[in-house]
Amino acid sequence: MAAATAAAAAALRPHITLLSGGSGPIPSTSPQILTFVFPLPFRRRGRSVLFSNASSSPSSPPSPEKEAVAEAIAVPTAESCVNLGLELFSKGRVRDALEQFENALELNPTPIEAQAALYNKACCHAYREESNKAAECLRTALRDYNLKFGTILNDPDLAPFRASPEFKELQEEALRGGEDIGSGFRRDLKLISEVQAPFRGVRRFFYVALTAAAGISTFFTIPRLILAVQGGDGAPDLLETAGNAAINIGGIVVLVALYFWENKKEEKQITQISRNETLSRLPVRLSTNRIIELVQLRDITRPVILAGSKESVTRAMQRAERYRTELLKRGVLLIPVIFGASQKDQTKPRGFGTRRAAASVPSVGGDFEKRTESIAAKSRLKAEVRFKADIVSPEQWESWICDQQESEGVTPGEDVYIILRLDGRVRRSGIGMPNWNDILQELPRLEDLMSKLER
């Protein structure tokens, strides 16, 4: 019997040795720890985790070699997946980066980690021209994780998405505000609107107060009017009472109309502010082949956008050459936009790597909206600005111009020009191409007092 038992143990020993990773026989005098290596469902490049199935005896400590292996193999976390995804994205490995952001969302992320994962996942989908998926990621981040809508407007990685119908739909939802998305975005826009129209809130307060006063007065006037109509001893004068009632009711109608007019005016202003913000993020290529956004040209130039057919824009540019010196003194930068002449831009954004190296990729919770420039960098940029800049991403430019035309009651696609202020806001626009003599008379030189006030 003992011989049979020994033979069976000898037959099983090689299999146990194979499972345990050992190279020699396993002593039969002590319980063993069998270590199995299971790949995680989101494993990348051999990452794995060790699960140990220990025996019932707690007195057998793991060997030092096994402890070293367990410490060397790191278990992925939501933060590490996001940071790895950012690094992969910066290298153009968008598909691998997308997998990492999806992995992060499955690892019980914190709100900040979830926001970063969803936002960067949307950047990946935007790169792959999957606008529907990008919109869903951003909508979830806005609704559940307090993402600021301004971040979507500011990030060049989302430039392809901002040219899509899905972005317009998302922006309209954000403009409406509410409990779902965009409440913070709308609040910020309202603050800017109040700065530009500082007494609107005061006027609406007086409209409401006077309407309430007129309503109270009408409440007491109506019974007197009924008594005046009935007549009899002690009845008030009919004409006088009817006149008072008419004044009160008319006042209520006028005040309510003014209140709604102020609201409509505010909505129009908020839409214009949002459109100006979108304009400020449109990219252009300077004469030095450097690509920047219009927001970086604030306080430096007055961009003049010439949009229309190739013949009209070319003719306007040729006429502008006659006034080149004087226009440069006024900080004019011509930006021609030819409708339908440019095909889709072949140079896609290459993720974060287009602006910074992989080593400088921000970790989870980084400030995506931080876009400050030093005075020295501003001076260098000013030296690069010449007389003309070429547009980048023509679809975005044409989409913005068509929206501007519709808001002004102009047929989309018609020849127009748009003059911007030094602060980036629209100064004025018109149908056709501009008269350069009028432009010279209208725009002060950059060193003049009026230019400083315009900033």
375-379 contacts, C-beta under 8 A, 24 or more apart: 378/299, 378/300
Q: Across the strands, what pairs with 439?
A: none
How many Å apart are CA 107 and CA 116, to the nearest integer? 13
Q: Across the strands, what pairs with 332?
A: 302
How many Å apart are CA 93 and CA 45, to the nearest integer? 14
In the chain, DSSP finds a helix count (H) and a strand count (E) of: 18, 9
Distances (CA, A) of 148 to 160, 335, 338, 368, 390: 19, 30, 33, 10, 30
CB-CB contact of 373 with 337 (8 Å): no
Alpha helical stretches, state H, 231-297: 238-280
Which H or E run includes 292? strand 291-293
How many Å apart are CA 249 and CA 243, to the nearest integer? 10
Please classify residue 174 by burial: count the beta carbons closer than 10 Å to its beta carbon, then call 0-12 exposed, 13-18 middle and 19+ buried. buried
| CA–CA–CA angle 95, 48, 74 (5° rounding) | 95
pLDDT on residue 68: 43
How many Å apart are CA 222 and CA 209, to the nearest integer? 20
DSSP-based three-state secondary structure for 384: helix
Distances (CA, A) of 395 to 4, 300, 341: 82, 26, 11
Pairing verdict, β 302-308 and 332-338? parallel
CB-CB contact of 95 with 114 (8 Å): no
Matching residue, tokens 């037959």: 11
How many residues are recorded in the chain?
455
Q: Please measure the distance between the N-terminal and C-terminal CA atoms of the chain and give it in whole angstroms.
A: 101
pLDDT on residue 393: 79
pLDDT on residue 379: 60
- What's the token pair of residue 361? 């990729």
Nearest in space to 309 (alpha carbons), one of 341, 283, 286? 341
- What's the token pair of residue 418? 């748009």
How many Å apart are CA 187 and CA 228, to the nearest integer? 51
pLDDT on residue 62: 52
Q: What are phi and psi of 54, to 5 degrees?
A: -80, 160
* 78-178 and 283-341+382-452, same CATH topology: no
Residue type, 174: A
Nearest in space to 430 (alpha carbons), one of 413, 418, 412, 442? 418
Which H or E run includes 36? strand 34-38
DSSP-based three-state secondary structure for 426: strand
CB-CB contact of 275 with 404 (8 Å): yes
| pLDDT tens, residue order, the chain (455 aa) | 444 444 444 443 343 333 334 434 334 333 333 333 333 333 333 333 323 333 333 444 555 544 444 443 467 888 999 999 999 998 889 999 999 999 999 988 998 999 999 999 999 998 888 989 999 999 888 888 888 887 887 777 787 787 788 887 887 777 776 555 655 666 666 777 777 778 888 898 999 999 999 999 999 888 888 888 888 777 888 888 889 889 999 999 999 999 999 988 888 887 778 787 778 878 888 888 888 888 888 888 999 999 999 999 999 999 999 999 999 999 999 999 998 865 544 444 433 333 333 333 333 444 444 444 455 555 666 666 778 999 987 888 888 888 888 888 888 889 999 999 888 888 888 999 999 999 999 998 887 765 666 65
Tell me 155's DSSP state.
-
Torsion of CA 259, 261, 263, 266, to 10 degrees: -140
Nearest in space to 109 (alpha carbons), one of 365, 334, 294? 365
pLDDT on residue 11: 43
Can you name the CATH fold of 78-178?
A: 1.25.40
Distances (CA, A) of 436 to 142, 175, 348, 442, 450: 45, 37, 36, 10, 19
pTM above 0.85, yes or no: no
Angle (deg, nearest 10), helices 78-90 and 111-127: 30
CB-CB contact of 391 with 282 (8 Å): yes
Domain range summary for the chain, segments of one domain joined by +? 78-178, 200-281, 283-341+382-452
CATH architecture of structural domain 283-341+382-452: 3-Layer(aba) Sandwich (3.40)
Please classify residue 132 by burial: count the beta carbons closer than 10 Å to its beta carbon, then call 0-12 exposed, 13-18 middle and 19+ buried. exposed
